[in-house]
């Protein structure tokens, strides 16, 4: 009998196998598809490289005063080089440097303590499921017949296009809309909810919408129900309750679903209401010897969180130390340019949790560094507990927000107050000063302040 | 390849009490009966919620 079987070799699976080795356990790792999972192959790494290429050309366009676009396939080739090198260095070479038994194949449970893979039965004392997620494909009339892209095809297109209709209005939709727009492709966003980024602060949603419409010239339609997809006159037509749009291609950005097809019933493993594997705070499933980590549990699908969950699941599985992750300080970013970033609770979420809150919003044109960069679009919003003045949540739309939010995550994690932020000297001029300035806004009018106060 | 062809009606977010167009400078969200509602300010939200509760009371009697 094996000590530990890890199913999946993406972010969570790798973190689990590394931690297992550090704890003196040689795990069996079972995986299929490209090693490294979604993030390095068809997620964060390629999409952020494509966005970076677009950012460079957009900046160059501003300098020369005319629109410049990269050569379509050359841009994707550049992306492929980054993906291939990172996959080799961070996954293929890494797994070779650890003591694991790697099996390539698709596993399914045959009992509470055994899986079958490639016809071989493997029994183990403990299991960690880290099988990730896949694009969710909604049931839309005509969609299968007409065809569509997901993030996978959109990151490795087999044809050039001049127009792209994107169904969805969350992180993936916004990132691909800007990415393709800056490749010279006209894009449009069709969002079912009343606003894009519906789980974010409403000020952020509207600020981002205005920016993308005015600065990137991306039309955004909200409160739209897609009724049907059909072939058009050379393109594909999306029929909605608000009218029609025709484009070369359709991109589905309608969320992701956990990969749970592995006969979980045989192991007594239950699912949650999001279709993911049900776990407690220690990442233990309804089978006490099976843990789950990463996208497969159906929570926030974030690379860094998946990695941390993989490590924690390994520690809990091997040592039964009952470790938990502080979910209140998990930051999230939409990597459009400028970035959109958040950590902690929105004002509405905080009120629903029973907090008596206060909040402030400061526009980026109050931040000296944003003015110096001539990138002063956007805003920062901070939510605090009125009684104790500790920071409950921060959301920011602005230059380098993805970097700034890490400080906000520390502030939320360690229950820092606005006074802690004000008392901490921040480098002038930096975008991170926006955190201190929004903290100052609770007691002062920041529009009537000198640069350093 | 086809250029983007649009024939869509734009749906703007408006205050559900007074009908004012909402912007990043003037937006307030409140959950009423498990659904998010959008307003220009908390006063409009109060008025809407009061009307909502009144309608709810009269419909049950």
| Average pLDDT over every residue of A146-172 | 98
B20 touches chain A (CB under 8 A): no
Q: CB-based contacts of A305: which residues, under 8 Å, 6+ apart? A: A294, A299, A325, A330
Task: Among A193, A227, A254, give the residue marking a domain's end.
Answer: A254
**Beta strand segments in A84-140, E:** 101-104, 107-111, 114-117, 120-129, 133-135
Minimal-distance CA residue of chain B relative to A187: B4
In a domain, A378, yes or no: yes
Task: Among A209, A235, A254, give the residue marking a domain's end.
Answer: A254
Angle, to 10 degrees, between the axis of helix A171-181 and the axis of helix A202-215?
A: 20
Cα(B47)–Cα(B44) distance, integer angstroms: 5
Bond into A196 cis (ω within 30): no
Taking 90 as the threshold, does the pLDDT of residue B59 lie above it?
no
* Whether residues A131 and A17 fall in one domain: yes
CA distance A364 to chain B (A): 13
Residue B15 CA neighbour count, 13 Å, CB half:
23
Cα(A352)–Cα(A355) distance, integer angstroms: 7
Cα(A224)–Cα(A397) distance, integer angstroms: 25
CATH code of the domain in which A174 resides: 3.50.50.60
* Whether residues A286 and A334 fall in one domain: no
Kindly calculate the radius of gyration of chain A based on its CA atoms and give it in whole angstroms.
23
In a domain, A428, yes or no: yes
In a domain, A450, yes or no: no
Number of H helices, E strands in chain B: 1, 3
What sign does the dihedral A392-A399-A300-A223 (CA atoms) show? Answer: positive
Q: Do B6 and A248 touch (CB under 8 A)?
A: no
Q: Do B1 and A248 touch (CB under 8 A)?
A: yes
Q: What pLDDT is recorded for position A380? A: 98
In a domain, A292, yes or no: yes
In a domain, A280, yes or no: yes
Q: Give every strand in the sheet of B5-8, ordered side by side.
A: A226-231, A236-240, A243-247, B5-8
Cβ atoms within 10 Å, residue A363: 20
Bond into A338 cis (ω within 30): yes
Domain that holds residue A209: 143-254
In a domain, A177, yes or no: yes
CB pairs under 8 A between A and B: 86
* Whether residues A148 and A130 fall in one domain: no
Q: What is the mean pLDDT of chain A?
A: 97
Instruction: Name the residue facing B13 among A195, A204, A240 (closest C-beta).
Output: A195
Task: Note the pLDDT tens digit of each residue in A192-251.
Answer: 999 999 999 999 999 999 999 999 999 999 999 999 999 998 999 999 999 999 999 999
Instruction: Name the residue facing A206 among B3, B4, B22 (closest C-beta).
Output: B22
Assign A453 a pLDDT band (cuts: 50, 70, 90): confident
* Whether residues A390 and A420 fall in one domain: yes
Domain count, chain A: 3
A223 touches chain B (CB under 8 A): yes
Q: What pLDDT is recorded for position B61? A: 56
Q: Contact at 8 Å (CB) between A13 and A295? A: no
Task: Among A325, A358, A377, give the residue marking a domain's end.
Answer: A325
Contacts of A206 in chain B (CB under 8 A): 13, 22-24, 27
A105 touches chain B (CB under 8 A): no
Task: Note the pLDDT tens digit of each residue in A96-147.
Answer: 999 999 999 999 999 999 999 999 999 999 999 999 999 999 999 999 999 9
* Whether residues A121 and A267 fall in one domain: yes
Task: Note the pLDDT tens digit of each residue in A36-82.
Answer: 999 999 999 999 999 999 999 999 999 999 999 999 999 999 999 99
* Whether residues A210 and A126 fall in one domain: no
Q: How far is CA A23 from the centre of its chain?
A: 30
Q: Do B13 and A162 touch (CB under 8 A)?
A: no
* Whether residues A153 and A212 fall in one domain: yes
A51 touches chain B (CB under 8 A): no
pTM over 0.90: yes
Q: Do B11 and A379 touch (CB under 8 A)?
A: no
Q: Contact at 8 Å (CB) between A440 and A385? A: no
Q: Which residues pair with B39 in a beta bridge?
A: B28
* Whether residues A151 and A236 fall in one domain: yes
In a domain, A147, yes or no: yes
CA distance B15 to chain A (A): 12
Q: What pLDDT is recorded for position A371? A: 97
Cβ atoms within 10 Å, residue A144: 11
A219 touches chain B (CB under 8 A): yes
Instruction: Return the structure tokens found at A375.
Output: 């990138």
* For chain B, domain boundaries: 28-60
A177 touches chain B (CB under 8 A): no
CA distance A223 to chain B (A): 7
B35 touches chain A (CB under 8 A): no
Q: What pLDDT is recorded for position A35? A: 96
| Average pLDDT over every residue of B10-21 | 94
Q: Do B8 and A224 touch (CB under 8 A)?
A: yes
């Amino acid at each position: 009998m094996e000590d530990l079987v890890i199913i999946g070799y993406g972010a969570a699976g790798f973190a689990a196998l590394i931690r297992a080795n550090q704890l003196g356990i040689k795990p069996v790792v079972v995986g299929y598809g490209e090693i490294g999972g979604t993030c390095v192959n068809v997620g964060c790494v390629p999409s952020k490289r494509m966005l970076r290429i677009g950012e460079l050309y957009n900046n160059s366009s501003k300098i020369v005063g005319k629109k410049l676009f990269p050569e379509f396939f050359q841009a994707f080739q550049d992306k492929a080089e980054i993906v291939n090198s990172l996959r080799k260095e961070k996954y293929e070479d890494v797994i070779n440097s650890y003591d694991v038994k790697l099996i390539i194949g698709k596993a399914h449970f045959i009992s509470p303590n055994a899986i079958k893979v490639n016809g071989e039965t493997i029994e183990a004392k403990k299991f960690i499921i880290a099988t990730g997620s896949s694009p969710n494909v909604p049931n839309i009339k005509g969609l299968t017949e007409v065809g569509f892209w997901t993030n996978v095809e959109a990151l490795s297109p087999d044809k050039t296009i001049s127009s792209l209709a994107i169904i969805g209005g969350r992180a993936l939709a916004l990132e691909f809309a800007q990415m393709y727009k800056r490749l010279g492709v006209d894009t449009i966003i069709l969002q079912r909810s009343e606003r894009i980024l519906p789980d974010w602060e409403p000020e952020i949603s509207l600020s981002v919408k205005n920016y993308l419409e005015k600065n990137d010239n991306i039309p955004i339609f909200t409160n739209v129900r897609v009724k049907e997809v059909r072939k058009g006159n050379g393109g594909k037509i999306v029929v909605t309750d608000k009218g029609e749009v025709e484009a070369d291609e359709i991109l589905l950005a309608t969320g992701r679903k956990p990969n749970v097809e592995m006969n979980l019933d045989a192991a007594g493993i239950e699912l949650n209401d999001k279709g993911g594997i049900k776990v407690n705070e220690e990442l233990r499933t309804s089978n006490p010897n099976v843990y789950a980590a990463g996208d497969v549990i159906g929570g926030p699908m974030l690379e860094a969180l998946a990695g941390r969950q993989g490590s924690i699941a390994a520690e809990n599985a091997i040592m039964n130390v009952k470790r938990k992750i502080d979910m209140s300080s998990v930051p999230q970013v939409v990597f459009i340019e400028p970035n959109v970033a958040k950590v902690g609770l929105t004002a509405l979420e905080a009120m629903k949790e029973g907090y008596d809150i206060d909040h402030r919003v400061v526009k980026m044109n109050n931040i000296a560094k944003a003015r110096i960069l001539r990138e002063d679009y956007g805003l920062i919003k901070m939510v605090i507990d009125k009684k104790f003045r500790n920071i409950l949540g921060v959301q920011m739309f602005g230059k380098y927000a993805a970097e700034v939010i890490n400080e906000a995550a520390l502030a939320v994690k360690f229950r820092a107050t606005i006074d802690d932020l004000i008392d901490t000297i921040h480098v002038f001029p930096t975008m991170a000063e926006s955190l201190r300035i929004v903290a100052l806004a609770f007691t002062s009018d920041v529009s009537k302040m000198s640069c350093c106060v | 390849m086809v250029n983007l062809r649009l024939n869509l009606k734009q749906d703007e977010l408006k205050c559900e009490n007074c009908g004012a167009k909402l912007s990043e400078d003037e937006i307030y969200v409140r959950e009423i009966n498990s659904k998010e509602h959008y307003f220009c300010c908390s006063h409009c939200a109060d008025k809407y919620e009061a009307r909502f509760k009144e309608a709810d009371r009269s419909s049950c009697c």
